[in-house]
Amino acid sequence: MVQTLDEDGTVDPWRRRARRTRRQMPLWQELPLLLVVAFCLAVLIRTFLLQAFFIPSGSMEDTLLIGDRVLVNKVVYDVRDPVRGEVVVFRGTDRWAPQVDEQPEPGFAGKLTRTVGDLVGVSRPGEKDFIKRVIGLPGDRIKCCDSQGRVTVNGTPLDEPYVLRDSPLDLPPNPGECRSRRFDEVVVPPGQIFVMGDHREVSQDARCQGPVPIDNVVGRAFMVVWPSSRWNALSVPSTFDDVAGPTAASSGAPPVRPTPQGGVLLLLPLVAVLRGSRAFRTVPSSPAT
């Protein structure tokens, strides 16, 4: 046994008593303290850093499949705006149809459970939460289609390898439904983004529900963490490399590319913890029709 000695070589009785007191703390006292600390950490992480989301529908297939869990970086857009090609979680505007039927829990216990679940990020989704890919930025001109049936941004056609099932070309455009691939040119308003799902046949997105304010963006989905067989980073494709900015279309300025997220490495320990947990929040991508 190692003892703590004072400068004169004697045993410090105060430190010895403190050590004995810590050893004698019963489990029933330590456990509530550990739970409180864990809860506070979960709230801080969920509020300021990252949050896990569950994908329940197929509008982002095959990038995101039904049942996938993704991690969302909630701080990246505090230092910069979204970039074309990124997958983002956002709150839809009043034009976006609700995707989740809200059923309030009866009684005090149900309300308390929902409140606690929302604090740590494991509650049911809000009816206006969506996940899509950024196609256009403020000032961009977006339309479909060119002679090959492709979406164009500022006159540049997009080759989109992540779109495996596109909407049919023979359906006429419908302002209230996104089944048709074709839509008239849209100029993205200031402070907003134009988003679309990767599974264009079923995705209800900005084609028919309008652009989304950047202020409504919750964060960037940057990694699939569950199931383990699909653990992968959601990187930005090279699709938009040749797209000029709205003010650079005639000046030949180079396209804007996102800066690498060095914070991802710092989050890897948290990813390992979250991969072993089933406590994930659900975010609708769009109804599978």
Placement of tokens 């809860």 in the chain: 39
229 is catalytic: no
Residue 279 CA to residue 211 CA, distance in Å, equals: 31
Cβ atoms within 10 A of the Cβ of 16, count?
12
Residue of 59, 180, 203, 285 with catalytic role: 59
Distance of alpha carbon 86 from the chain centroid: 10
Q: Tokens at residue 175, please?
A: 């302002």
> Could you tell me if residue 284 is left (phi over 0), alpha (psi between -120 and 50 degrees) or otherwise beta?
beta
Nearest to 86 by CA among 232, 242, 257: 257
Residue of 57, 74, 132, 180 with catalytic role: 132
228 is catalytic: no
Q: Are 44 and 29 in contact (CB under 8 A)?
A: no
Residues annotated as catalytic (active site), given as ranges: 59, 132
